[in-house]
Amino acid sequence: MDDEPKLLTVIADGVATLTFNRPEKLNALTPAMLEDFFAIIAQWGADPDVRVIVITGAGRGFSAGLDLGAISAAASEGGSNLSADRTAAARTNNAPQPHWGDDVGPALGHDFTRGWNGLITCRKPTIAAINGPAFGWGFILALHCDIRFAARSAVFNATFARLGVPAEKGMGWLLPRLIGIARAADLLYTARRVDAAEAERIGLVNEVVEDDRLMTHVDVYARAIAANAAPRALAAMKAQIWTAADNGYDAAFAAADLEQGRCTQTEDFKEGVGSYLAKRPPVFTGR
């Protein structure tokens, strides 16, 4: 088992799927896994063959969070422990950019850095397929995705208060924006477990799907986006969404107008209009 890759990747029909692969540990994360994870996301962000990114876990869990046992072992041997995300940030910063550049839509650079925010600054739609427990850092990675689908057996837990630490890795910023301050405070202060039904009710996930249908459902959903949405438009929309809560209306309106003017000069715009008028599926190239 130790020789098996801890991250599995597949790209098909524009959908790139990354699977955490430590099922015997409920996909608990190590610093090495995180470093590789961020690097893969950065590469996919620049890959024209990738239109949508899906993240899930092998076995019966999404991710149990940080592997505290691995961290303790590394510390006892004099190794680094929690610095993997800083190393990942440097690697992600050096990743190639999509051919359209990094100036599509509102600027993200002044609001977000790379590394843990790589799922946000990556200009591809990201989907978490939460197939079981998502605890601690695993929960946070799911929150950094644009869209979340949960299996009926999924359960969420912000464990930090019980460990004597604050809401880590941007969770205190993300969670209130998704479910509101009062509900975020409840989940963070109590460190209680939330099942899939409650997660759907409070807006933590987009939809709950039966366990045996989760990956099929997510794959169909992701492939529809990959086939029918123009990549540059998606990149601009993602930036609009992630800056919307902090930018004023006028700034958001101006940024949208600027990008609209740019998009109308692209091949994808011509293809989008042409395919709509011809009543046929579009064939977008990202140009």
Question: What pLDDT digit, counting tens, does each position of 245-280 carry?
Answer: 777 777 777 777 777 777 777 877 777 778 877 888
Supply the pLDDT for residue 94: 56
CATH class of 231-278: mainly alpha
Greater model confidence, 86 or 2: 2
CATH number, span 7-228: 3.90.226.10
Residues 52-57, mean pLDDT to the nearest whole number:
98
Q: What is the pLDDT of residue 71?
A: 60
Nearest to 127 by CA among 111, 144, 115, 113: 144
Extents of the domains making up the chain? 7-228, 231-278
In this predicted structure, which of 184-188, 247-251, 279-283 has the lowest mean pLDDT? 247-251
Span 33-54, mean pLDDT?
A: 93
Which of 85-94, 155-164, 222-231 has the least mean pLDDT? 85-94
pLDDT digits (tens, 9 = 90+) for 88-114: 444 545 555 665 555 676 666 656 665
